[in-house]
Chains A and B, each alone.
Chain A
Amino acid sequence: MALFDVSGYKSHAGLRGQILGTGVGHLVDRPNQEFAVPVGVDPSGFLKSCSREGGVSIDLNHGTTTLAFKFRHGVIVAVDSRASAGSYIASKEANKVIEINPYLLGTMSGSAADCQYWERLLAKECRLYKLRNKQRISVSAASKLLCNMMLGYRGMGLSMGSMIVGWDNKGPGLYYVDDNATRLSGRMFSTGCGSSYAYGVMDSGYREDMTVEEAYELGRRGITHATHRDAYSGGVVNLYHMQEDGWIKVCKEDVSELIHRYRKGMF
């Protein structure tokens, strides 16, 4: 980065090189990801001033619902598509799933900018890994890379709740990674402010031995019922199925049609 070189900014990685000696250069497969930030910039202080009364309210709630769960035939990923800025709906067809490679998906909730940037950076790192090591990166390693990116910006106001879904040598993989560098492996996760509603529907309808169609229906139901109750979720349900030979996009259905189908008696 031009500014980086010109500014004479001394990175801690350079210092580490002096202490450990050269030759440890490529033990860790991570490039220098620091931004050349001018002295005195305090992102977290700035954000604090914006999110209370008296200033412009940049409401950093994770305004979304996304869910993913493992079952006998792979992993189902379902997300909504509403992008909100406070009470304004910025987009009704936002894309909240990033297709990293044919065997890896990432979901996004939280600040759209943060999610898009960091997950695209993750996609770049996964591609570099494959080129350097001649094998696809594991889901565990990919999620750890993202987690460490979050760790580097701890306390600076990043907002990202993401699930990394894939299929590697160890079978189907599902990891939850968020902006405070939490990384959890599990069978079922839901993120965003509509997640509690999605958990309710998923937990009561989940069985490990579901058929593929039943699993698709559970994913659709989870998102639909969450969008019904949560103001910051809506739009369409984007449904993906991660199988052994890669992911497939199953469907894209409008939640208002789905909710009318499900709650026939109500309306």
Chain B
Amino acid sequence: MEYLIGIQGQDFVLVAADNIAANSIIQMKQDQDKMFKLSDKILLLCVGEAGDTVQFAEYIQKNIQLYKMRNGYELSPKAAANFTRKNLADYLRSRTPYHVNLLLAGFDETDGPGLYYMDHLSALAKAPFAAHGYGAYLTLSILDRYYRPDLTRDEAVDLLKKCVEELNKRFILNLPSFTVRLIDTEGIHDLEKLMPVGAKLLAPAPSS
């Protein structure tokens, strides 16, 4: 039902997530932000079981901030991804595993941009592009076809738009809007929300 996508360029990472918070067949909220800011240049995108997503993401978020307070410097995206994976793996064989699928996107001063794919079984892979959810079945091939490592920012946004239009066309569920963010050497930038033509937004976007 939920959808996450990430595209890495030469000096940026572009990520997007849908905005629906659903409960069985009902859309409870149409402006849910599924991205969690771990640090100035790291975003964690989190989907999965109700309750688990926010709890696990906030747990990781606060621990990353605690590390910074204790040690005076921030974890790199690679370290943050591995830390997250370790926590997920530790909980996996406990009484209360967290059923979440994640994308971690970040920009490191030395290594450059990085996109990390993590699933609910705690598998971790660094990838040039990635997607989660049923929508991934429709869009990964588009990414395979049109992705190039030297995409400019505008080209990456166009590629993202292609994916979202495909979902709008072929995916049975209505996903009317997507939050889009870009991470580069200057930090995290909010881009314009993607609203595919024809998808219905239930109520006018509220101010809160």
Contact = CB atoms under 8 A, between A and B. Distances in A.
A187 B203 contact: yes
A182 B203 contact: no
Contacts of B25: 196
B142 to A, nearest CB: 31
Interface in B104-135: none
Interface string B59-100: 000000000000000000000000000000000000110000
B19 to A, nearest CB: 12
B206 A187 contact: yes
A17 interface: no
B56 to A, nearest CB: 10
A182 B26 contact: no
Interface stretch (B6-14, B47-55, B162-170): B47-55
B51 A199 contact: no
A178 B208 contact: no
A203 B55 contact: no
Contacts of B52: 180-181
Contact of B51 (A180, A185, A186, A203): A180
Interface in B23-39: 23, 25-26, 28-29, 32
Interface extent on B, as a size class?
10 to 19
Given A155-B96, A203-B202, A184 B29 contact: yes
A70 to B, nearest CB: 9
Contacts of B28: 176, 184, 186, 189
Contacts of B26: 195-196, 199
A92 interface: no
Nearest to A181: B51
B207 to A, nearest CB: 10
Interface string B190-208: 0000000000001100101
Contacts of B1: none
Interface extent on A, as a size class?
20 to 34
Nearest to B95: A155
A183 B50 CA distance: 9
Given A176-B28, A195-B26, A151 B208 contact: no
Interface string A37-57: 000000000000000000000
Contacts of A178: 23, 50-51
Contacts of A181: 50-52, 54-55
Contacts of A185: 29, 208
A78 to B, nearest CB: 17
A154 B208 contact: no
Contacts of B138: none
B21 interface: yes
A176 B22 CA distance: 12
Nearest to B53: A182
Contacts of A189: 28
A184 B21 contact: yes
Contacts of B206: 186-187
Contact of A182 (B54, B202, B208): B54
Nearest to B49: A180
Given A180-B51, A182-B51, A187 B21 contact: no
A184 B202 CA distance: 17
A210 to B, nearest CB: 13
Contacts of A186: 28-29, 206
B124 to A, nearest CB: 24
Contacts of A154: 51, 96
Interface in A99-122: none
A37 B133 CA distance: 39
Given A184-B21, A187-B203, A151 B51 contact: yes
A150 B55 CA distance: 11
A167 to B, nearest CB: 14
Contacts of B54: 181-183
Interface of A: 150-151, 154-155, 176, 178, 180-189, 195-196, 199, 203, 206
The list of the 6 closest CB pairs from A to B, nearest first, reads A181-B51, A180-B51, A182-B50, A182-B51, A180-B50, A186-B29
Interface of B: 21, 23, 25-26, 28-29, 32, 49-52, 54-55, 95-96, 202-203, 206, 208
10 contacts: A155-B96, A180-B52, A182-B51, A184-B28, A184-B32, A185-B29, A185-B208, A186-B28, A187-B203, A189-B28
